Amino acid sequence: MSWLEFDCRHRYPGGFELGIAFRADHPVVGLFGGSGSGKTTVLSVVAGALRPDQGCVTLDRRKLLDTRRGIDVAPQSRRVGMVFQDHLLFPHLSVERNLRYGLSRRGTAERDVDFARVVEVLELGDLLARLPRNLSGGERQRVALGRTLLAGPDALLLDEPLTALDQPLKERILVYLERVLAEWRLPTLFVSHVAADVRRLAEWVIVLEAGRLVGSGPPREVLPADAEQPQSCHGNPL
Amino acid sequence: MLTSEEWSALALSFRVGLCAVTASLPAAVAVGYVLARATNSSSWPVRSGRLVLQLAVDLPLVLPPVVTGYLLLICLVPRGPVGRLLDGLFDVQLLFTWWAAAIASAIVGFPLMVRTIRLAFQSIDPRLEFAARGLGAGPLDAFFSVSFPLAAKGIVAGAVLAFARSLGEFGATVMVLGSIEGRRTIPLAIYSLTNRPGGVDRCWRLVLISIVLACVALAASEWFERRQFRRELA
């Protein structure tokens, strides 16, 4: 049973054209591709930040978007939690108020995620009184992840959450991500241009190239063991 | 010490300025926000609409204040479109009352207020609002819980700047308030004094007060504006 069905076409004013259709059946699906391949556009459409020219997005049998039938569910009602590459924490709110932002706005339909458990799993206890500007990159990423979880989403969208981190920090955040995915078992779309990260977290990978889907399958089959940079199915660097 | 005429001018200037800023602030926040968010739009109808709105807002900045006052005058006279409406509906006449001076001040100070507020909103990453919406906030909730508090210092800076502009407003005010004894703002009182024998020597206190108020208001506006942009860089 697919938790996400995506079929969209969109043309940007600059000429870039996206035409991608896929189904996500596995709990953690990786979207792999180089810069300009359309990975972030896919996430933006699912989250409701971008309305494509044509398309249909279904999450857990809920129609989020259907341009033919005029359906376009507002972002606050989609129940998808997006973790951004640059965190986008609210700079005027403490870590605790950032974490509680979605919690206080959660409707009855959203899944119940316990504040104390999130703080414990992501080890945020010592950070609660701080402002985002006083956090390191890794701490910000953990707060962003916790804030998204506490909004009670039906699915997680992770937009290159490890890109801005150095290798030791990335290893530590990967451990937290693995903990979160194991604890809450949320269907997750994980975007990355680093093959090793996708191999480690995703059970299925979809490879994008210039706005088109060029391959999909288990990471060890689709991503060659030595591929650290995105490559097309034909072996060309993207 | 100040004379009763000078106190009266000072009190009226503050009343007019506060009323003008308070009444126009919500509209300035709305227009500043819309202009800021439309700045990077790739849609040509949005870009064209933004240009038209920006021109309409900025017009009083470059028009001679007397022209703005004249246009307001022909609107507010009893046979004018607004004057007739107010007279018919509420039996109220605004012309040559301090309310008319407040409207003139609000119009003349509006572009300065909008410009500062627009820059404050432009300094905030619009994706923060989208992040808020993804966490369950509706558009208004996202605006008031994220963008508005982040732009607050810029909004105060704009309001203070418009207040300072109001204290110095003369051209539009004289058209709709006239220069009637006991109903003169600071600039009108200075002008009136200079037209009396020996008045040039007697208006120095009001001139000094004007300079001090302008300096304090400008310094306060600058302080709030710096705090706004320092926060965004943090």
Residues 6+ positions from A112 with CB-CB distance below 8 Å: A152
CA B126 to CA B87: how far, in whole Å? 44
Which residues of chain A are within 8 Å of residue B137 when distances are taken between CB atoms? Answer: 76, 101, 105
In this model, does residue B137 exceed pLDDT 90?
Answer: yes
Indicate the burial class of B40 (C-beta count within 10 angstroms; 0-12, 13-18, 19 or more): exposed
Mean pLDDT of chain B: 92
Q: Judge whether B105 and B17 are in contact, CB under 8 Å.
A: yes
Report the candidate in A129, A76, A126 with the shortest Cα–Cα distance to residue A102: A76
User: Tell me: the pLDDT tens digits for B146-204?
Assistant: 999 999 999 999 999 999 999 999 999 999 999 888 889 999 999 999 988 888 888 89
In this model, does residue A95 exceed pLDDT 90?
Answer: yes
What ipTM describes this predicted complex? 0.88
Q: What is the mean pLDDT of residues A25-50?
A: 93
Does the beta-carbon distance from A47 to B134 stay under 8 Å? yes
Residues 6+ positions from A138 with CB-CB distance below 8 Å: A165, A169, A172, A173
Using pLDDT thresholds of 50, 70 and 90, give the confidence band for residue B234: very low
| Three-state DSSP class for residue B11 | helix
For B93-117, what is the HEC assignment?
A: CCCCCHHHHHHHHHHHHHHHHHHHH
Who among B137, B142, B234 is closest to A91 (CB)?
A: B234
Who among A80, A88, A105 is closest to B131 (CB)?
A: A88
Measure Cα distances from B196 to B27, B174, B188, B193, B207 in Å. Answer: 40, 17, 13, 5, 16
Who has greater pLDDT, A76 or A13? A76
Q: Judge whether A97 and A165 are in contact, CB under 8 Å.
A: no
Report the candidate in B25, B38, B54 with the shortest Cα–Cα distance to residue B122: B38
- Structure tokens belonging to residue B186: 């600071």
User: What is the interface size between A and B, counted as CB pairs within 8 Å?
Assistant: 62
- The pLDDT value recorded for residue B7 is 93
Q: Find the range with the poorest average confidence among A223-237, B91-105, B203-217.
A: A223-237
Q: What is the mean pLDDT of residues A161-165?
A: 80
Chain B closest CA to A1's CA: distance in Å?
Answer: 25
Which residues of chain B are within 8 Å of residue A50 when distances are taken between CB atoms? Answer: none
- The pLDDT value recorded for residue B212 is 95
Using pLDDT thresholds of 50, 70 and 90, give the confidence band for residue A232: very low
Using pLDDT thresholds of 50, 70 and 90, give the confidence band for residue B225: confident
- The pLDDT value recorded for residue A235 is 45
B177-211 burial, b for 16+ CB within 10 Å, e for fewer? beeeeebbbbbbbbbbbeeeeeeeeebeebeebbe
**What does DSSP say about strands A54-59 and A62-66: parallel, antiparallel, or unpaired?**
antiparallel
Who has greater pLDDT, A35 or A112? A35
Q: Judge whether A51 and A214 are in contact, CB under 8 Å.
A: no
Does the beta-carbon distance from A101 to B130 stay under 8 Å? no
Q: Judge whether A205 and A222 are in contact, CB under 8 Å.
A: yes
- Structure tokens belonging to residue A111: 């899944």
In the structure, how many helices (H) and strands (E) does chain A have? Answer: 7, 11
Using pLDDT thresholds of 50, 70 and 90, give the confidence band for residue A234: very low
Using pLDDT thresholds of 50, 70 and 90, give the confidence band for residue A104: confident
DSSP state of A231: B
pTM of the full predicted structure?
0.87
Q: Is the sign of the CA dihedral A214, A219, A224, A227 positive or negative? A: positive
Q: What are phi and psi of A160, to 5 degrees?
A: 45, 55
User: Tell me: the pLDDT tens digits for A106-151?
Assistant: 876 666 788 999 999 999 999 999 999 999 988 999 999 999 999 9
CA A50 to CA A73: how far, in whole Å? 12
In this model, does residue A227 exceed pLDDT 80?
Answer: no
Which residues of chain A are within 8 Å of residue B127 when distances are taken between CB atoms? Answer: 49, 84, 88
**Strand pairing partners for A159?**
A191
List residues of A whose CB lies inside 8 A of any B CB.
Answer: 13, 47-49, 74-76, 78, 80-82, 84, 88, 90-92, 101-102, 105-107, 110, 133, 147-148, 151
- The pLDDT value recorded for residue A111 is 66
Q: What are phi and psi of A92, to 5 degrees?
A: -90, -5
Does the beta-carbon distance from B131 to A107 stay under 8 Å? no
User: Tell me: the pLDDT tens digits for B122-132?
Assistant: 999 999 999 99
- The pLDDT value recorded for residue A13 is 81
Q: What is the mean pLDDT of residues A10-31?
A: 92
Chain A closest CA to B137's CA: distance in Å?
Answer: 6
CA A144 to CA A26: how far, in whole Å? 24
Using pLDDT thresholds of 50, 70 and 90, give the confidence band for residue B111: very high
- Structure tokens belonging to residue B111: 């572009």
Which residues of chain B are within 8 Å of residue A155 when distances are taken between CB atoms? Answer: none
- The pLDDT value recorded for residue A81 is 94
Chain B closest CA to A191's CA: distance in Å?
Answer: 17
- The pLDDT value recorded for residue A237 is 44
Does the beta-carbon distance from B134 to A92 stay under 8 Å? no
In this model, does residue B71 exceed pLDDT 60?
Answer: yes
In this model, does residue B39 exceed pLDDT 90?
Answer: no
- Sheet with A212-217: strands ordered across: A71-72, A62-66, A54-59, A4-11, A17-24, A212-217, A204-209, A28-32, A188-192, A155-159, A80-83
Who among A76, A84, A88 is closest to B136 (CB)?
A: A76
Q: Amino acid letter at B90?
A: F
In this model, does residue A196 exceed pLDDT 80?
Answer: yes
In this model, does residue A230 exceed pLDDT 70?
Answer: no
Chain B closest CA to A6's CA: distance in Å?
Answer: 19
CA B179 to CA B182: how far, in whole Å? 9
Report the candidate in A76, A70, A24, A22 with the shortest Cα–Cα distance to residue A47: A76
- Structure tokens belonging to residue B168: 């110095």
- The pLDDT value recorded for residue B190 is 94
If you measure CA to CA, which chain A residue comes closest to B130? A49
Who among B127, B135, B234 is closest to A102 (CB)?
A: B135
CA A57 to CA A62: how far, in whole Å? 9
Who among A47, A88, A151 is closest to B128 (CB)?
A: A88
If you measure CA to CA, which chain B residue comes closest to A50? B130
**What does DSSP say about strands A28-32 and A188-192: parallel, antiparallel, or unpaired?**
parallel
Mutation target to probe the B interface, by most B beta carbons within 10 A, among A11, A73, A77, A88 is A88
In this model, does residue A52 exceed pLDDT 60?
Answer: yes
